[in-house]
Chain A
Amino acid sequence: MVLVLVIGDLHIPHRVHDLPLKFKKLLVPGKIQQILSTGNITDKETYDYLRTIAGDIHVVRGDYDEVGSPLPTITTPPFLSFLPFSPIHAPPPPTPTQYPSWPLSKIVTHGAIRVGVLHGHQVVPWGDVESLSIVARQMDVDVLLTGHTHRFEAFENEGKFFINPGSATGAYSGIPGTGDVIPSFVLMDIQGNVVVTYVYQLVDNEVKVEKVEFKKSYAASKVL
């Protein structure tokens, strides 16, 4: 039994200053084995906070992420190459072990379940079921985690399970028609071929928990 926290689109500090306090109370160390983040954590401090909850953290790069973005390489201009030292004092790049350049997508395997993680801004139309199904097939995953829409979704399509944890901070979305964003994140309990998904939503400053269960059908995967 593995408990996997799925969280993303925090947009700290650009849109929201912090996680809701009630969520912070829930997210205590020692319970969660793994964190899969759909990106847009944006700053280093938030990433470090997540790492305190669980050390095994996998993050994909969102369109606003600063931490995991590949840094522009600053090199000495050719006309100054005769100098014995570089006249441009660039800050040292983050150490690759701590802040690796995050990938755009990632696949994590838990037993029989293959979990794909993607921020989702690459998939157009954003949050479209068909497009996500295509991506899931391409990545050959049983569970596909995406974000970007700031709206919680959890549904099964063509024998695959699609989860959008929404925005954990309730940060506003630039997508037209989103409206008020409900802060939410998802906890997956993976046991064998069963994924039990607990959805934590902050409605009226109260944590609301829902449960969605997905069972991987071997027959379905064999057909594909």
Chain B
Amino acid sequence: MDLHEARQKWDLIFNDPLLSLTSLRQKAVATNICRTTLRSVCWKVYLTYFPSLETSTWPLILQKERQHYSNLVYKYITNPTEQMAKGGGDLSVNNPLASNDDVRCCHVSVGRGEESYGFLVGRGEPKGHMNPWQQYFADSEIRKVIRQDVERTFPDIDYFRDSRVQQRMVDILFIYCKMNQDVSYRQGMHELLAPVLLVVDQDSVELVEGATDLDPTTDVLLQTLDRAHVEHDAFSLFTQVMKSAKTWYEFNDEVFNSSRQRKQARPNVADESRMFASREPTPTEAAKLNPVVMECHRIHHEFLRTVDPQLYGHLERLGIEPQLYGIRWLRLLFGREFDMDSLLKLWDGMFAEDATLKIVDYVCLSMLFGIRDDLLQDDYSSCLGLLMHYPTAHVNPHTLIEQAVYLRDHLSQEGGVQIMRQNDVRAGRVPREHGAPPPSPSRHAGEYNHQHHPSIEAGTDNLARMTKPAAEGFAKMTKEVMKSPQVREINKAIAGVMDEVKKNVSILGENVLGRPSVDGTQSGPQKIRSEFPSGFDRLSITSTNLPPPPPLAQAPTPHSPSSRIPPPPFSDPATFHQDVARLRDVNRQMGVLVEKCVEVFEREVFGAGVSIPSPTSDAEQPVVPAPAPSPSDTVKEAALVLALVGLKHVRDVLQGKTVDFDQDIMDQIVSEAASHRRVQPQTQHQTQTQLQTQTQLQTQTQHQTQTQHQTQTQYQTQPPPEREKEREWEFVESDEVALVGTGNGGMRGGLDESILDKVERADVMEPTTTPSFQENPAPAVKESTRSTKSLPTSPSSSSSPRTPTKPPVTIDDILSDPSLASPPKSAISANKYSWILGTEEGASHRPSSNKEGLFGLRSPPPDRMAASTGNIAEGRPHIPRAHSTNTSSATNRRSSFGNHAARGDPILGIVGGSGTDILAVAGDVGHTLVRQGSGEVDPLDAANADKRRYVDEYDY
């Protein structure tokens, strides 16, 4: 660089009227001032070589520093040689081969861990008369090691191939080594020196001979950039850098102790380490001896853990030690990760931000953030490869510095997320909302999702909300249950049916009752007839169209909270079990309702007398049923509508759209069904498809009811389509989310306004049953909990010898004619309580739990099987059970309900008896009903079924 150019650049720095140390530091990142002007001058300022910008003081400082280096050169290089050459003293001592008694032999390892050299280092000052040759041999060993490294410094940069440059580097490193005997020379220092020397030498200016008429500024410039003193200045800058970087090269224990004392002087770090001390894995003894490993450890286990738990967990899972890449990053100040130009930029920023180089930790973090998403999707070898060969192609060093500064000021998870979003923006993506990686079609993505379930994964919002340990355990248990493919199958099937029913109900409601359609479907009533059975066939297809569960963030409005018992705090296990029991009861009631509705459908759609299809109807073209002019037909239509409304409501409750199960709807339908039971419709319109479906389903029913434990075969013979499996997964996830919300007590699904309206209207219509819930005091709730525990042994099974307090009412009584099977209220409640007491008395009911069906689902005990009528009655005993827990209202309706169930119609068989699994879920609906009756739990769809199952297993 000639003088003129140097002067121009010099002026660029110093002609700024607002020049200050701070502004100069800011410009390093903001305007890239180091690159456009004199980088060596900037670095000298940044690294406090020049403590001020007062250039008039600089020559003095320069002179002092350079003289210092010259003295060192004399002391460590020139003088020993002179001593040897002079041959002073006794030649028998001062000769090359004299014995080396005075020199201690110590092994100093040099290198990046795997490479190490042992060499002699003369330590301490020579005592008395010492052979200079010994020092010479020791020094020449060090020099040999240094030269070995220097010769391969930045092999692709020609500057470092110059032997004079190499000699300079060796001298500088050698003198530094002699000055810092505790660390001596370590491999890597040369790569710190090389850029410094390059920068200083590039900016140097040849002194102009005989130039006398220099203005003071040029004079200072010439002195600052004197080419003759490049080595001196480089040494000084290198020493400044090494003041901070030295700890990364320290090894042995005494050095570590001193450095630890130094670290404790930094209060914030000390606090953090104390804060994380309990959770952080303790480093090994060997690691403790190595400050750089400790530093990596801290970056990884404290900083990264704080700002990005997900990435931390991923790296921990893979077992990638931070020192694998961290030592190189730190010791070389990222010299191996970036090319020279980027490296100098990075150093500009680091030196400007923090002369003590503490920013380096955060630069490491921001570098990790730069490759975060790739890391999260990679396996061990790819991750390691990525970390060892950091992709710097698109990395702007100044961005790293800015992010590092941000992280230093915001060392939290939010800060990490902010960096991620910033990276997203820079990469042209949409900034993410939280820590999860953006969805990508990568082959790793699915694998990843399976490994880390979002709701369980630490650091996600769900877990953050799920603070109570009970809820945590609950969610985990539920997840395990829901992972069972069979359970998911059931959930899906039910959801599919409900979806269909909902569609049809809205249409019917519009046409017949004048109710507004909820989902706005505008198809005619004839579509109902043709669509329902076919829709039943493609359950899986419709189930995939299910709307997603409402987000948890929406705080749902509890349904008429004033009339309910306020939800107890979700704190102790007893309350927890109570809640679960209530849920189970609500579930069971819902099951009863579904059964009832299905029964109505059976009767109305597949009337017993109209099983033969009309010969004139075309199979291709759906037969439009003739409008029913007769009043009986209208009644039938109304019953259908009621049933559909009921089903729809159950569906909504299961899906979480409606918060509370409405008892009124059920009562309505039950009464409706009872009335129609007497009407006994004889004619029904039926299409060809309906008939086909019916027969098909009947076959299914037969298959399943032949052996109640062979439901699994059913699923094996009818594997769900592949698309369904994907859906299953989401389904389970959403269930868990729902569960988490339920576990917290206050979280409830969002409310569908229309449904809520309807439900409230229903409340107004028939408020008579609601008081039964209101009257439920806390002890009653407890009792209901117990009753559900011993649910398999229903008091209604007359043949059971195990219930000494068995009520006089047998199942046959209940299932027979409604007029006959209406026991008095008191009898029912007395039965209930006595039955509960019986449960409490002994474990005589427990053996029934052994009869639980596959997959932990409940199947009816054999004694009740015997008592029930026909195949479909497998699950029948649940019905009276649900009613008995329902306190004493609507006894008549209940008995009629039982009557319908006893008829054994095919469709009822399907829902009630298509494998014990579905039946069990139907029972769960009943549980949900009871729980809802206490007004404190959101019966979010099938998740409650798992709760019940979990509690059953847990209790027994």
Contacts and interface: CB of A to CB of B under 8 A. Distances in A.
Interface of A: 1, 3, 25-28, 30-32, 187, 189, 191, 196, 198, 200, 207-211
B137 A27 contact: no
B36 interface: no
Contacts of A189: 84, 96
Contacts of B87: 211
Contact of A25 (B85, B99, B136): B99
- Chain B contact patch, size range: 10 to 19
B92 interface: yes
A1 B84 CA distance: 11
A210 B96 contact: no
The 6 closest A-B pairs by CB, nearest first: A26-B97, A209-B91, A209-B95, A198-B95, A209-B92, A211-B87
A31 B97 contact: yes
B97 A200 contact: yes
Nearest to A25: B99
User: Most A CB atoms within 10 A — which of B81, B84, B85, B136?
Assistant: B85
B97 A210 contact: no
Nearest to A3: B96
Interface in B57-105: 81, 84-85, 87, 91-92, 95-99
Interface in B766-808: none
B137 A210 contact: no
A25 B97 CA distance: 9
Interface string B121-154: 0000000000000001100100000000000000
B92 A208 contact: yes
Nearest to B119: A30
B92 A211 contact: no
Contact of B91 (A1, A32, A211): A211
Contacts of A187: 95-97
Contacts of B95: 187, 198, 200, 209, 211
B85 A196 contact: yes
Contacts of B84: 189
Nearest to A188: B96
Nearest to A198: B95
A169 B95 CA distance: 21
B110 to A, nearest CB: 17
B137 A30 contact: yes
Contacts of B140: 1
Interface of B: 81, 84-85, 87, 91-92, 95-99, 136-137, 140
Contacts of B92: 207-209
8 contacts: A1-B140, A25-B99, A30-B137, A31-B96, A207-B92, A209-B95, A210-B91, A211-B91
Nearest to B120: A30
Contacts of A30: 137
Contacts of A209: 91-92, 95
Contacts of B91: 198, 209-211
Nearest to B100: A28
B875 to A, nearest CB: 92
Given A187-B96, A198-B91, 9 more contacts: A1-B81, A26-B98, A31-B97, A31-B137, A32-B96, A189-B84, A191-B85, A209-B91, A211-B87
Contacts of B85: 191, 196
A198 B96 contact: yes
Nearest to A33: B140
Nearest to A27: B97
A78 to B, nearest CB: 56
Contacts of A191: 85
Nearest to A30: B137
A19 to B, nearest CB: 13
A31 B141 CA distance: 10
Contacts of A1: 81, 136, 140
Contacts of A210: 91
A21 to B, nearest CB: 13
A33 to B, nearest CB: 10
A83 to B, nearest CB: 56
Nearest to B137: A31
A210 B94 CA distance: 11
A148 to B, nearest CB: 24
A165 to B, nearest CB: 14
Nearest to A207: B92
B532 to A, nearest CB: 95
A153 B847 CA distance: 113
A28 B99 CA distance: 9
B515 to A, nearest CB: 102
A211 B98 CA distance: 14
A191 B82 CA distance: 12
A187 B96 CA distance: 8
A3 B84 CA distance: 13
B738 to A, nearest CB: 76
Contacts of A26: 97-99
Contacts of A196: 85
